[in-house]
Amino acid sequence: MPEIRKVPYTEDRVLYETTVGALNLTPIAIAQRLNLEVDTGCDNLDYFDILILDFRGKTVGFLRHRGAPENFCGVSNFSNLPIDELEQLLFELLPSGEVQFTRYDEPW
């Protein structure tokens, strides 16, 4: 598998309108699978856990507000990939048959 690099979260990272879908995993569960740790932050909604990864030169983020459903995280497309390409990248990154990605009609 190609190298996976964690990108540190900073408050200047724009999260609004980058979330294009959801996974049935939390950022913590993803980080544990990859032997990494999540970052935390806070916005006008709540505190959140976030994991930002660089994989194959593409940047993707996984975000879950603390009040969100238990097995859920939003997927942020920081590289503006076509959605099919992003989905393929997710399945390469998390090759378990248990992973389910749900596309959103519009970014949020």
Tokens 């990605």, residue located: 101
Per-residue pLDDT tens digits for 9-64: 999 988 878 899 999 999 999 999 999 999 999 988 789 999 999 999 999 999 99
Are 101 and 84 within 8 A, CB to CB?
no
Per-residue pLDDT tens digits for 63-80: 999 888 888 999 999 999
The structural domains of the chain, with segments of one domain joined by +, span 4-102
The three-class DSSP label of residue 61 is strand
